Structure 1
Amino acid sequence: MTITSLPQPTLPAQSEEPPAEDVILGVDTHKDVHVAAVITVLGVLLAHQEFPVTAAGYRQLLVWARSFGVLRRAGVECTGSYGAALTRFLSRESIHVVEVNQPDRALRRKHGKTDAVDAEAAARAVLSGRADVTPKTGQGPAADMRVLRLAKESAVKARTQAKNQLKAVLLGIDPEMRETLSDLSNTALIATCADLPDTGDAAVFTLRLLARRIQQLTAEVKELARRVTKAVRRCRPELLGIIGVGPDQGFGVVA
């Protein structure tokens, strides 16, 4: 009798590794170090780690976080200051960054205040949906104008201080010289003091030094104002046509 073997059923191929699960990153940011925590989409804390605030540190943080699963979302504290650079780095890596302003207070009370707890809280804020604000990129015309205006305000403040100091020094110089200088306009006074000869007198030397500082700061203010105006004209030129609106006033509208 001939025995015929029956064909064996074909079993579906088994994958060697299960697909990686999604994870969520949370970061508590500081000036010199960032503390990161990774949780699962079920809320299980996987790990936390500290990283330096450097380009290499950002890369290490990302590699570390991705070692736990697929990273698509991250909650970052202080995205406008300490976390700004990290936010831009993660965004370039196709990770959706969510701004986290305040750690979860209930979690703080339960576990105490630590950077690791804050990092975990940032991740949980993303998971729960409590944090859902996409941070500003910190780039573009508005960001350019922000830093230019910051420098301009600083220069104006320093110039005002130098002017006040120059006038205070004038009160103690030789009366004849003081009378000659006191009749000048502010512009002429600064120009005259800037050209005073070095006689070895401390007051005269100080007047010349302060006057030249004022001239330098005035040049900075003009250049910064020119750049702010150029930035406004590039992105919102119609603002400059409004009566009573200048680059500094228009800045608030542009931002």
Structure 2
Amino acid sequence: MNERGTVAAGIDTHKDTHALCVIDLVGRVVATGSYAADGEGYDRIAAAIGDPRDCVVVGVEGTGSYGAGISRRLAELGYDVVEAVRPKRERRMAGRDKNDPADAERAARDALAGKASGTPKAGGGWAEALRFRMVARDAAVSESTRAANSAHALIVTAPAPIRGELGGMKTPALMKALSRRRRARDVVESSLWESLRSLSLSWIGAKKAAAAHEEAMREILLANAPALPGIHCCGTISAARLAVTAGDNPERVSGESAFASLCGASPVEASSGKAKRHRLNRGGDRQANRALHTIARQRMRRDSRTKLYVDKRTKEGKSRREIERILVRYIAREVYGALVRPTDAACEPYRASARAAKSERLRAGATQAQASRALGVASARISEMERGRLVDAPLLQRHRSWLESLSAGERWGNPE
């Protein structure tokens, strides 16, 4: 917050227009207005607020949806932008106006009073790229599920010979069988086979699209946060969901306890009398919470250390759900460390591979300068990568391929 400023601003965001309210430090309304939600409108809002050095803070509603564009633009111009949370209907004071200018004024007052202090997601980086891929992948999965359900429903009501032929088949084999054209005896059977074939082709295409998006997400994670998929029992989808929740600026979260609260994994006390216990936190980002629970359940099924822990806690009288919530809280701590320190202990497999690459280079008698020329990067990047300070999985893979070519007698570049 800019303590030297003389005004504060609040913005109520919508799809097509944004409402602005500017107040001074004693709460008097200085300016109001409505602006288009586009690039020109963003610049007009900035001009109405004034110099960033004169503005204490800007509270923006919906920084993750309709307010994403204006939040990024104001941050680029140097304004201190915070997220203003829309109040629930029951928390609004009776008798107060409910309109866009009033909402913008409330956002400005909350931001000035410190009630709105959350830092918005930066956007525009690798986490945002993951979010795009995740949306498309989820849509493809939903489409494949819809197609499979529709096909099974048609088979249930199909004539007995067709139902007998297809009724016991698993979905992948069924879709492969339905993708082939069939001869029909009449118009009804012809329509049935063509409908089933159309659904099977839709299922196959959706499955291929989902797999392609998942592979792209894996590459993004390995290039930017290899520690995250390196967490035990954390798959690509779970890692991507957690990265999207944190955003491109995970440092905006004040600590691992705040991250656990953001994911709905922080314990909520539910004690009564002699019973001391904690219950489920129903708040937070539900997609991140789902990812944490997925990791916890996989560990409870497959990890020997986790199984021993579950047995111990069970003997203490804990229910399976309570044990899972304890594990989820621990995993949230792991995930936060992987997000803010992608080259620390959680990324030990990557660092071990980088150290091994350095040893191979020294055995081959090659210098960092030769490696940098062969790979087309600065020698400083080679040094940082081999020490584990630079996380760049594609570059490490290229480096190891170059070292293999040296051992095979090939020559990359002309060392001086």
Q: What is the TM-score of this pair, normalised by structure 1?
A: 0.80
Question: What is the alpha-carbon distance in structure 2 between the residues aligned to residue 231 and residue 143 of structure 1?
Answer: 11
1:148 shift after superposition: 1.9
Name which one, 1 or 2, has greater alpha-carbon Rg: 1
Gaps of 5+ in 2: 247-416
**Which residue of structure 1 aligns with residue 198 of structure 2?**
209
Gaps of 5+ in 1: 1-20
Task: Tell me, yes or no, if structure 1 residue 77 matches structure 2 residue 66.
Answer: no
RMSD: 2.8
Structure 1 175/236 Cα, relative in aligned 2: closer, same or farther at 3 Å? same
**Which residue of structure 1 aligns with residue 314 of structure 2?**
none
**Which residue of structure 2 aligns with residue 145 of structure 1?**
130
**Which residue of structure 2 aligns with residue 128 of structure 1?**
113
* 1:113-168 deviations in Å (ceiling 9; x for gaps): 22212111211222222222221113322232233223222221221121111122
* 1:26-83 deviations in Å (ceiling 9; x for gaps): 111122221101112232211211112122221222222329x934531111111111
**Which residue of structure 2 aligns with residue 161 of structure 1?**
146
Question: What is the alpha-carbon distance in structure 1 between the residues aligned to residue 240 and residue 77 of structure 2?
Answer: 31
1:240 shift after superposition: 3.2
Match of 2:49 among 37, 53, 65: 65
**Which residue of structure 1 aligns with residue 325 of structure 2?**
none
Q: How does 1:15-164 map to 2 (within 5 A)?
A: 22-66=6-50, 70-71=54-55, 73-102=57-86, 109=94, 111-164=96-149
Counterpart amino acid of residue 64 in structure 2:
G
1:228 shift after superposition: 1.5
Match of 1:193 among 173, 178, 187: 178
Contact residue 56 and residue 112 of structure 2 kept, 8 A:
no
Contact residue 77 and residue 101 of structure 1 kept, 8 A:
yes
**Which residue of structure 1 aligns with residue 343 of structure 2?**
none
Q: What is the TM-score of this pair, normalised by structure 2?
A: 0.51
The structure with higher relative contact order (CA 8 Å, sep 6+) is 1
Contact residue 107 and residue 117 of structure 1 kept, 8 A:
no
**Which residue of structure 1 aligns with residue 225 of structure 2?**
236
* Number of equivalenced pairs: 234
Answer with 159-168 or 138-147: which moved more. Answer: 138-147
Question: What is the alpha-carbon distance in structure 2 between the residues aligned to residue 78 and residue 36 of structure 1?
Answer: 14
Structure 1 207/187 Cα, relative in aligned 2: closer, same or farther at 3 Å? same
Contact residue 156 and residue 167 of structure 2 kept, 8 A:
no
Match of 2:211 among 205, 218, 222: 222
**Which residue of structure 2 aligns with residue 5 of structure 1?**
none
Q: Kindly indicate which of the two structures has a greater share of residues assigned to strand.
A: 1
Q: Following superposition, which runs of at least 4 residues in structure 1 exceed 4 angstroms of deviation?
A: 103-111, 182-185, 197-200
Structure 1 24/162 Cα, relative in aligned 2: closer, same or farther at 3 Å? same
Q: Kindly indicate which of the two structures has a greater share of residues assigned to helix.
A: 2
Percent identity over the alignment?
29
**Which residue of structure 2 aligns with residue 14 of structure 1?**
none
Question: What is the alpha-carbon distance in structure 2 between the residues aligned to residue 47 and residue 253 of structure 1?
Answer: 40
